Structure 1
């Protein structure tokens, strides 16, 4: 737990072991006269009782929250022992780069929240049903990126539907050591191909957004958290019962009457798992966003961060329910994340779903709608707010003066430049001879040693210029300038041995790099199904088959 900056507050938990009780030389006052009678009248007694209550409350707060005694330290250790941890990434094939700091030196924070459908415990099997999947590797049925802006004044929650077909990189299982080769499949299988670290890598390669941490939660964890919070308000426009039908087996079991209800425990899990009653998996993402927005509003109202008892219950439930990437695997760091999220006003929190379209290879799946999805990923990479309720944001990467371009190490005619064709995407094949075409453009501009890479096509959403070492940075910048590629796309990389132009899916035609328009705050693409965190009017429509 983060040490407070308020004067007079006790040290943080990490300082507990260095504390030793101090013995006062001041004699204790008994508060009694000779003969055992209390000094003063009834008012005095009430004041003394109030002081005793205040002293007792202060002692409990110090013991439980700040850990300034042995009991507090043991409780803190208990919470830390609850937390399961894992490697942040289970592979090396990441195409994401951190967003540059703003003028104040602040950077965005990205956390990937993963809901697992694991049925590998009696508790999860009871809640999840379908015993035929007991013992199977878990799937990542809920995937949501939580983006906190660099200034911590706005936030976004972005979902990718579980049946989205994407390129999945090579991943290694952290427990068995098994290596899974790259594949093209629906995104929810990533959890079974190397754990949460593989899901994170897949997101990074799809979006180009650097993800700092991941968290996973299973069925039982959702129930514990919902109980600890005390319930969350949800709303339906019609009576709903998500039950098996002759045509569609399964169902979450959710049964509610029209209107607003406070759901908790197993009923909260049913709300989050309901799909058929809403119509499809995309509507389920909307219901999940509405639940999380309502949960955040509930926590803000309860002010659990200053309520000792509630904070204890929530801390115990959270640490038992979550598995997290190892770099945030302590109570102090999780508490710090919670306080950062708490500081964002509800009307600056926006929940969206990745724009998508039906998969031409399988009507039950979807693929990214590239124009809309790419715009959303760019907004995340550039830290552009998803809402219009804030002032003018400090642009990411604005650190005052622009970094001066480096000086090329050799003349253009002597520099070897490799051009790679990375125009392939999850929905479109690579453009034939694209590397050769851009290589010829470089030759015409004086880079006579430029040549196309004949090793095969790659997949990259954005065109990049990569270089392996600092001495070639100026050369890479000069190549980018010659092609009209922005300096923000010039990156140092150990994956290349020389200056390399990676022609991405954003440059499939033409010999001049297309100018990219910068998105503005709140300018979300069509198909994002945005929900504002302060909107309490949203209710879910129920598909007619599941009304009663």
Structure 2
């Protein structure tokens, strides 16, 4: 894990937990009993037969003094509690480690997703598991003594997509040995520039090129999905958080012992059936390859999905988390374990995120692994299927197929279009995909096609090479909507592919991957079904069980 200015402030708060600040559930105990005990004594005094002056009853001084004392003490308690709560809040804030969101080229980051009709936008969060062995605790848990202090690897990478309407959630894992082009990244602490990879490298190496922001930049380059936040945890964090929630139930089809004759394996040892795992055993589950199915990273990702689904169900069902002490322990653990981007760098922001995530029912949570194909002993995104999965996320389409069908009605703009030869059109090449290079000269070819149709001001913009799964026409303001629709109609592009965008300064045609060749655009009906190769796992499936390799049973 890399240091930050925030981490340097850890020594300021001397308070270790809420109890030391006086913020605990016993703070108000006894107040109600004190009221009840004082009342009889007061009645006894009033019944003592004392004289009264002719002007009316004499005010009970002692009672007033007691009430004033009680009010003063109550005020001190309220103010003290508020102060303790604030100090504890600041204590937790000081423990959160922060890093820059993206270390790539800021200008070429994907645009944020458009808001839906209700003004809501989806949320994309990259979850990163670091194998850093930068502390004695991480070294003890992770083993591999020869790697102590070496650059950390992003051995777990999952993109969490929360839908705009907060009705569903998708989680996509990428195998750690996926071969990708890694973009140029700059370390925010040292200023060191890591040049873009000349060939494809394993994606887990991104973390050592400046931090989690480089992993984010690599995902964005591959998927064309704008990532809003990241959250990273190391070995010690996994152990402590598993302890804080009291254990997570997992299932295996047979007795398993993850250790071969050469000593390879996580050391996980479980009996057949369901067992709640916590602490080091939870970490072993998440790291196990030897013994699960074919011993690959793909099997490990599947086990991680089962663990995450079970964790969500456990948090929802675990009544002990209503206990303040349990909640405080979880708060201490979580803030100590996480590294997040600056946009999530306070307890308040993390709580707000948690409140959004908990709106999703487990039955609308979908876990999957990016469709892949083998390249020797490594993997790469599977042509077609991987890009389709990324498109569904970009377009905020639920992977479980339970979304309400979107309206296909096309509305013609009320803004009249200018004459064809007066409309300026920039044509950009968006034919690049996750697995295919852009088609050379494609923007110029389509620009000439437009010129031939009377749009004489059409010109190719060769300064960019985008990734766009379908051909689209963008315009910056309402007065150019009619012009944009005129361009689309001339090419046979559906009006549903005409959109307003602040990313362009004039009418802009992006030739997508659906039109890599030819002069006639053929609009294809969108297939929004998740590819079968994604092998979905539903969050409500509490019967899922990891298949054990017979060579690792006992």
Q: TM-score range by the shorter chain?
A: 0.7 to 0.9
- Output one character per residue of 1:428-481: Cα deviation in whole Å (capped at 9) or x when no partner: 344344334323322222233444556796655554556688886665554344
CA contact (8 A) 2:124 2:161 kept: yes
| Counterpart residue number, 1:261 | 275
Matched, 1:219 2:219: no
Which is further off, 197-206 or 340-349?
197-206
What displacement does 1:287 show?
0.4
Q: How do 1:1-400 residues align onto structure 2 when only pairs under 5 Å count?
A: 30-31=37-38, 68-91=81-104, 92-183=106-197, 184-246=200-262, 250-278=264-292, 279-303=295-319, 306-359=322-375, 363-388=376-401, 393=404
Question: Considering only CA atoms, is the larger Rg found in Structure 1 or Structure 2?
Answer: 2
Q: Quickly say closer, same or farther: Cα 1:501–1:343, change in 2 above 3 A.
A: closer
Q: Quickly say closer, same or farther: Cα 1:439–1:32, change in 2 above 3 A.
A: closer
Q: Quickly say closer, same or farther: Cα 1:304–1:463, change in 2 above 3 A.
A: farther
CA contact (8 A) 1:405 1:477 kept: no
Alignment gaps of 5+ in structure 2: 1-22, 24-30, 45-73
Q: Quickly say closer, same or farther: Cα 1:162–1:75, change in 2 above 3 A.
A: same
What displacement does 1:69 show?
2.3
Q: Quickly say closer, same or farther: Cα 1:263–1:89, change in 2 above 3 A.
A: same
Instruction: Let me know the Cα RMSD of the aligned residues.
Output: 3.5
Which is further off, 95-104 or 323-332?
95-104
Q: 1:540 aligns with which of 511, 523, 546?
A: 546
Q: Quickly say closer, same or farther: Cα 1:407–1:81, change in 2 above 3 A.
A: farther
Q: 1:503 aligns with which of 511, 529, 532?
A: 511
Q: Quickly say closer, same or farther: Cα 1:423–1:102, change in 2 above 3 A.
A: closer
Provide the C-alpha distance between the structure 2 equivalents of 1:195 and 1:411, rounded to a whole number of angstroms.
52
What's the secondary structure of 2:119's corresponding residue? coil
Q: Quickly say closer, same or farther: Cα 1:192–1:504, change in 2 above 3 A.
A: farther
CA contact (8 A) 1:154 1:344 kept: yes
What displacement does 1:530 show?
0.8
Provide the C-alpha distance between the structure 2 equivalents of 1:223 and 1:80, rounded to a whole number of angstroms.
21
Matched residues, number: 487
CA contact (8 A) 2:449 2:519 kept: yes
TM-score by length of 2: 0.78
Provide the C-alpha distance between the structure 2 equivalents of 1:469 and 1:201, rounded to a whole number of angstroms.
30
CA contact (8 A) 2:223 2:434 kept: no
Q: Quickly say closer, same or farther: Cα 1:452–1:70, change in 2 above 3 A.
A: closer
What displacement does 1:292 show?
0.2
CA contact (8 A) 1:166 1:186 kept: yes
What's the secondary structure of 2:352's corresponding residue? helix
Which is further off, 222-231 or 91-100?
91-100
Matched, 1:527 2:541: no
TM-score by length of 1: 0.79
| Counterpart residue number, 1:442 | 450
Alignment gaps of 5+ in structure 1: 1-15, 17-23, 38-58
Provide the C-alpha distance between the structure 2 equivalents of 1:83 and 1:67, rounded to a whole number of angstroms.
25
What's the secondary structure of 2:515's corresponding residue? coil
Provide the C-alpha distance between the structure 2 equivalents of 1:262 and 1:517, rounded to a whole number of angstroms.
46
